[in-house]
Each structure stands twice: as structure tokens, then as C-alpha cells.
Amino acid sequence: MGLNKRRSFPALLFVARDLRRLEMEMRAAWIPALLFLSLTAVADEALWNKLQQDPHMVVLVRNAESAGNRDGANMFAWDSTGKCTGESTLTATGRTRARKYGSVFAMRGVTPVVISSPVCRCTETAQIACGRCLTDPGLRQRPPEDRRGQEAFLNTASALLGKQRGNLPVVFVNHRFNIDVLTMELIDTGELLAGTVTEDGEIEVLGNIRLEMWENFLAKCSTTHVPRPDGLRCTSAAG
């Protein structure tokens, strides 16, 4: 019996060594991610601070997930009566995302004026997030080949942004293609694009706020003991 116990010690030592090596490899893998997230946190915090203090700021938000975004259908449909007939409306995931937008603005103490495309997937996003919004038919999405439509969008957006500039920060809810035309920046769902509005209603982009990246990281972090990049510490559900 004693001999068997002695023979088991080397095996246990190998297991302990392998576990230690695995732990070190996992920590090494986390370091670059934590560094990147820490730098991102600093940049995001600077943008939030500016949003809280500067009434010339604008945050561009892509509409939350809709059935059309998911399936690629009804992207240009628009019911001018506001009843959303034939339009692509938000999915359950999209409505959850819109509520998260609202929660983030409320948590940060940002009370914006909201300008939205009149298309229902945008007005739904805006209303769920912030309650009310201003709309204009000129802000809707049109096919890329519709040059006059894109010119109308740019003129309408600049006029509305210029009019609201200096009152409160603006949240501008629109379609990905239109935001690209307006800013030359592509943004994903779960990402905010922050900038300042100039006197002529143009947007000078300052940077992105990556809400979804933080959510994904913190979801993983909540089941580990890895330090969070905001200085707090993630702990497991078991404590």
C-alpha cells in the first residue's frame, strides 16, 4: 500500500506542474487583451466626459437588429403613415439592444435630443432607448444608386444637426449605409460613433465607443478571476 502511494506522488507532481503551466499561459494570453481594453477604456471615458459637458457633441447609432438586418429583406421599405406596414421591425434581440443604449445614456447622465430616420427600425430603436425623437422623411434609407436621395439625406441631416447644435448632445439614429455616407465610418450594432457638430452641420468624428466589446469581455470576465480593465476585479458567481 505504501509503495503505491509513493509511486502516485510523481504523477501528482506532473499534474500540478501542468496546471501551473496552463495557468501561466492563460494569464499571458489575457495580458494583451487587458492592455488593449485598458487603453480603450481611457479613450471611451474621455468621449463620455465630453458628451456630458459639450452640447455640440453627437453620437451616431445604427438601428438595433431588425428582421431585415438579420435576413436581408425589406431594407428600403418605408410606410409613411408610421404604421410600419411592409417594413422590417426590431427583433427581440434588437429591442434588448435598444434598452441597453438607453441604460448606458441614463447611467452616464447624458440627456440628448434624438434625431432618427423615420423608418420603423430606427424610430423603434430611438423610442425604446430615449423615449422621443425627431424625424424627417429625408433621413430614410435609399438604394445606393439613388444619388439624389443620398444628397437629400446629407442636406437634411446637416440642417437638423446644425439646428440642434449647442442645445443638448444629439443622438442620431440611422442606417449603417447612411452613417457611412455622412461620416465615412462604418459602425456595427453595439457600437457608438462620437463626434462634434460644426456650425454648418457637418460632423467631425472623434472616435468609437465599443459597448458590445465591453459586454462580451465582462461576460467572460464574470466567470474568471481576471482583473477588469476599469480597476475592479471580476469574480466568479461562487465568489
Q: Which domain holds residue 82?
A: 56-211
Mean pLDDT (whole number) for 173-180: 95
Q: Which of 21-30, 64-73, 166-175 has the highest mean pLDDT?
A: 166-175
**For the chain, what is the mean pLDDT?**
79
Of the pLDDT bands very low, low, confident and very high (cuts 50, 70, 90), residue 35 is: very low
* CATH code, domain carrying 144: 3.40.50.1240
Q: Would strands 57-62 and 203-210 be described as parallel, antiparallel, or unpaired?
A: unpaired
Residue 116 lies inside a defined structural domain of this protein: yes
Q: How many domains does the chain have?
A: 1
Handedness of CA 140, 145, 148, 150 (dihedral sign): positive
Residue 36 lies inside a defined structural domain of this protein: no
Mean pLDDT (whole number) for 116-130: 96
In the predicted structure, residue 56 carries a pLDDT above the cut 70: yes
3-state secondary structure of 61: strand
Residue 171's H or E segment, with its range, is: strand 170-174
Q: Would strands 170-174 and 57-62 be described as parallel, antiparallel, or unpaired?
A: parallel
User: Could you tell me if 191 and 211 are in contact, meaning their C-beta atoms sit under 8 angstroms apart?
Assistant: yes
Residue type, 195: G
Residue 31 lies inside a defined structural domain of this protein: no
Residue 200 lies inside a defined structural domain of this protein: yes
CB-side neighbour CA atoms (13 Å) of 192: 24
Q: Which three cell numbers stand for residue 107?
A: 447611467
Residue with the bigger pLDDT between 22 and 153: it is: 153
Largest CA distance in the chain: 89
The number of residues making up the chain comes to 239
Q: Which pLDDT does position 21 carry in this prediction?
A: 62
In the predicted structure, residue 64 carries a pLDDT above the cut 60: yes
Q: State how far the Cα of 21 lies from the Cα of 96, in Å rounded to an integer.
A: 40
Give the position of cell 462604418.
186
Q: Which pLDDT does position 222 carry in this prediction?
A: 47
Q: State how far the Cα of 15 lies from the Cα of 127, in Å rounded to an integer.
A: 56
Specify the pTM: 0.74
Q: Which pLDDT does position 233 carry in this prediction?
A: 36
Of the pLDDT bands very low, low, confident and very high (cuts 50, 70, 90), residue 124 is: very high
Q: Select from 20, 16, 22, 26 the least CA-distant residue to 226.
A: 26
Residues 190-228 have pLDDT tens digits of 789 999 999 999 999 999 987 765 555 445 554 444 443
Q: Which pLDDT does position 231 carry in this prediction?
A: 41
Q: Which pLDDT does position 68 carry in this prediction?
A: 84
